Structure 1
Amino acid sequence: MAIEILSNLVSMLLYIVPILYFLPFKLRHFQKAILFLLIFFNILLIKYLSGNIGAILLLFTVCTYISLIHSERLLSICTVVGSYLFCVVLDNLLSVLMQALGISIDWIKQNQLIYLTVFLILQNVLCPPIAYALKRFLKKVKLNFPPKLMIMILTNLFSCLMIFLFNIVIGEYIGYTTKILAFNCILFSCYFIFSTYLIVNMIQAYMDKAQMELREDSYQKLQLYTTQIEQMYSSLRSFKHDYFNVMLSMSGYIDAEDMPGLKEYFYQEIIPRNQKLSEGTGKFNSFIHIKNPTLKGLLSSKLNYAHELGIKIELEVSEDISDIHMDIIDLSRILGVFLDNAIEGSLETEMPLLQLAVIKETTATAFIISNTFIDKHIPYSSLRKMNISTKGANRGFGLYSAHKILAAYDNAFLDTEMSEDRFTQRLKITTPDRKDIRND
């Protein structure tokens, strides 16, 4: 009796261990307790009532529970199904290995607790490195993951699951021999590994394509920045050529000792030209401190676009910005979302203003984006959710996407402040403790 209870408990652990390792988020203690009870109850059903077909009920209840406690439902379901299939593949491989060592299936059935214990130890050896590699991979793809690709992955996992369950259930019903079942399980394992390999390569190809598109976009923004610098230089040359004529025109007033006329000419003609020149050149001066061409191109193009829309721009970059401890693609996407929202928000006000400051600190780099806006009394926590936006229906993916990216970085901190007429986002990126976060 005691051995049977221990076997049930170990069986429960075999299902729950890979789920806890592979989930992209951590469960709280009471959530683990509920998951423990769900799996334990379903294992009792499988063992004493429903047989292997009860695995469908097990997966359904666990998938439903996990999807209810986390917003990334598709990823959560994929993790649960993938964890179960991992157990299946590992079980098949371990059985084949033990038979190769001369241990029969009958011995395994008679000493089930020993087999399950070996299985559990093997799981705890294999799961940590696999989970580490999986989370690093997910951190790289992040939001580059299109929903269609996620659905395709989920479909593949369920196909593998149905093939396995159909093989086991039908085999038990019509009387497959143990060797035939083992052979089918090996074929299933090979199919699962091969299809997983194909999907990983497909994801990698999609990531490479997305990065290439982003690099192309960054190059175009850098070209735009170069064009703007050339225009600024042309303006300076034009001013240099006009300078002599301006001095001659002023000398006429001086020779005639017409100080009132000179004063009027100075304020009506010279000052406006100087302001126009300052607006055309000054707003780009600070960009010389930003050493990353991708980031420089993004910020300059966004601010130039805002300037063309009639938004007043205030820019501050006082020190050289080079080493930023975040993937430059992720940083560009986050700042792009924040600046797009700042531009749209400021355009709704009577006096649109956008302020950007990039501040180099001892152990961090801070990006501060502030804009005028009209307070619509929507909590910022709500704006982070998908499809929630101040801009109407079918909008609201920007902030949701930005916060998903930020969630992958332990060294990135976002502070948001909403006052009566000002919306401010402060993003601070510190020097990371972990070596796996780097600025590519």
Structure 2
Amino acid sequence: MLSMLFVQQLMIVLNAKIALGREKIQIKDIVFSIAGAYLIGYLSNFSQLLAMTIFVSITCIYLYLDIRNLETSVIAVTMSYLAGIMLDHFSDIIVDSFKLGQLYLIVLIILEIIFALSLSLFVRYVRNRQSYVDIKFTKLESVMAMVTSIIFCLLIFFTEIRQDNHLNNIVYNLILLILIVIIFFVISYERVQQTKRDYELRSQKQRIKNDNRYIKEMEKHYNELRKFRHDYQNTLLSLDEYIKTDDIDGLKQYYDNSIKPISSKLNSEKYKLEDISRVGNKELKSIIFNKLYSAQMAGIEVTFEARSPINDFYVDSLDLALALGIILDNAIEDTEKQSHGDILTGIMKDESSIMIIVQNSITEETPPVWKMKTPGYSTKGNNRGMGLANLTEIIDRNQNVTLETMKLNGYFLQKLNIKIGEVQND
């Protein structure tokens, strides 16, 4: 009895984690499953219905403590629990049909392993598809999933447990469960399609917004260059007049008052964004230019470096633009409060990876990294900032992208590492 409960508890946890893209069994999963098996075995002596209810509830709580998302935890555990019931019924039918007697546990383990492997392959296939997007579950959906599992617990309790597990009732319940699973997949498929349509629409709007903003900033930059050209022509005419009249003292004074400041201006940070032209991706180029140019206008010292042209970033363009936008926003927010703040941004590429680095100066008041990753955290007040929580979420849905965040020698450093040659989500 305890062995069967342990296998069922462990596989429910494992299948729920596989569905969420976390395939590794940890020691804590085994310890939890052993403790859960003993608890459920004890409660079954009083009420099997109560035991089944707690069976699901404690697993939801356990998964929530791991992923910190209640709605997703409830739905993942519920679906895993229903799959466990389905495999349990298949095992009963196989054992009864082939007169396998005491081999129920072995049959169940074999079916559980086959199901877990199949689920793992399916999840990998879905997540590796270029059109993959994450689905956010609502509270209503999680409540409906929980109600479905409770109703099925009641159905099993009254039609199987209280009637000595007759094979006919097991078959009927299995057919009903299969129908529920089919309905669930149909609804999920439609939900995925709608989510993809919404995602593509948001992507188009974001690209249009970025392009329009880039064009406006380029127009401003062009007007400044025209003004500089006009000033440059006037400067040459003035120099020509001083030279023609051999007014050396006037020429020196003119150089100190007029030409030297222009030289300093040419060497200022305002003209250190030339390397942006080496970024071949329009969305990324627009984000980098707009953010750094805005930072310059706010008096922040900025630098951008890209030693070689990079056209393909091997990752979804919008996700990369959103992620870098959040990083630059956080950097600008932190440095604009400083009297001499600076931001260094760079893109480097080798044969195996692309690295995007954003480094900004910090003060003693800058919060620790762990606090920045808290959902909803912002130095502007409650519920106003995206923090690093949303950034981590964007990174997680692109399997070939990793994010490193650290404080180093008075600077806050963030590195986006993009592996080349891996499967991407474009």
Work out whether the TM-score is over 0.5. yes
Asked if 1:41 corresponds to 2:29, the answer is no
Unmatched runs of 5 consecutive residues or more in structure 1: none
Shift, 1:261, TM fit: 1.6
Asked if 1:165 corresponds to 2:153, the answer is yes
The answer to whether the 8 Å contact 2:360/2:412 transfers is: yes
Asked if 1:195 corresponds to 2:192, the answer is no
1:78-131: per-residue Cα shift (whole Å, max 9, x none)? Answer: 3222211111234456667x5xxxx8x5x57x7454344333222212322323
Shift, 1:58, TM fit: 1.2
226, 229, 254: which one aligns with 2:215: 226
The answer to whether the 8 Å contact 1:386/1:397 transfers is: yes
Classify 1:240/1:329 alpha carbon distance in 2 versus 1 (closer, same or farther; 3 Å): closer
Alignment-derived partner of residue 371 in structure 1? 360
- Matched position secondary structure for 2:68: coil
Classify 1:239/1:401 alpha carbon distance in 2 versus 1 (closer, same or farther; 3 Å): closer
Alignment-derived partner of residue 133 in structure 1? 122
Q: TM-score under structure 1 normalisation? A: 0.81
Shift, 1:276, TM fit: 5.1
Asked if 1:9 corresponds to 2:3, the answer is yes
Q: 1:61 corresponds to which letter in structure 2?
A: I
47, 50, 54: which one aligns with 2:51: 54
The answer to whether the 8 Å contact 2:302/2:342 transfers is: yes
Give the Cα–Cα distance (whole angstroms) in 2 for the partners of residues 61 and 382 of structure 1.
28
Classify 1:122/1:396 alpha carbon distance in 2 versus 1 (closer, same or farther; 3 Å): same
Shift, 1:161, TM fit: 0.4
Give the Cα–Cα distance (whole angstroms) in 1 for the partners of residues 405 and 235 of structure 2.
49
Q: 2:325 corresponds to which letter in structure 1?
A: G
Give the Cα–Cα distance (whole angstroms) in 1 for the partners of residues 125 and 298 of structure 2.
41
245, 248, 252: which one aligns with 1:256: 245
The answer to whether the 8 Å contact 1:222/1:298 transfers is: no
The answer to whether the 8 Å contact 1:314/1:354 transfers is: yes
1:149-185: per-residue Cα shift (whole Å, max 9, x none)? Answer: 2424422321320221122223359869753564344
Alignment-derived partner of residue 87 in structure 1? 84
Give the Cα–Cα distance (whole angstroms) in 1 for the partners of residues 245 and 112 of structure 2.
97
The answer to whether the 8 Å contact 2:133/2:196 transfers is: no
Alignment-derived partner of residue 63 in structure 1? 60
Q: TM-score under structure 2 normalisation? A: 0.84
Give the Cα–Cα distance (whole angstroms) in 2 for the partners of residues 130 and 393 of structure 1.
40
Give the Cα–Cα distance (whole angstroms) in 2 for the partners of residues 169 and 21 of structure 1.
24
- Matched position secondary structure for 2:277: helix
Shift, 1:59, TM fit: 1.4
Q: 2:53 corresponds to which letter in structure 1?
A: I
Alignment-derived partner of residue 348 in structure 1? 337
204, 212, 225: which one aligns with 1:215: 204
Give the Cα–Cα distance (whole angstroms) in 2 for the partners of residues 142 and 419 of structure 1.
39
Unmatched runs of 5 consecutive residues or more in structure 2: none
403, 423, 427: which one aligns with 2:416: 427
The answer to whether the 8 Å contact 1:92/1:189 transfers is: no
Q: 1:19 corresponds to which letter in structure 2?
A: V
183, 195, 204: which one aligns with 1:206: 195
**Higher mean Cα deviation, 37-46 or 346-355?**
37-46
The answer to whether the 8 Å contact 1:46/1:52 transfers is: no
Alignment-derived partner of residue 407 in structure 2? 417
Classify 1:280/1:12 alpha carbon distance in 2 versus 1 (closer, same or farther; 3 Å): closer
**Higher mean Cα deviation, 25-34 or 187-196?**
25-34
Equivalenced residues, count? 420
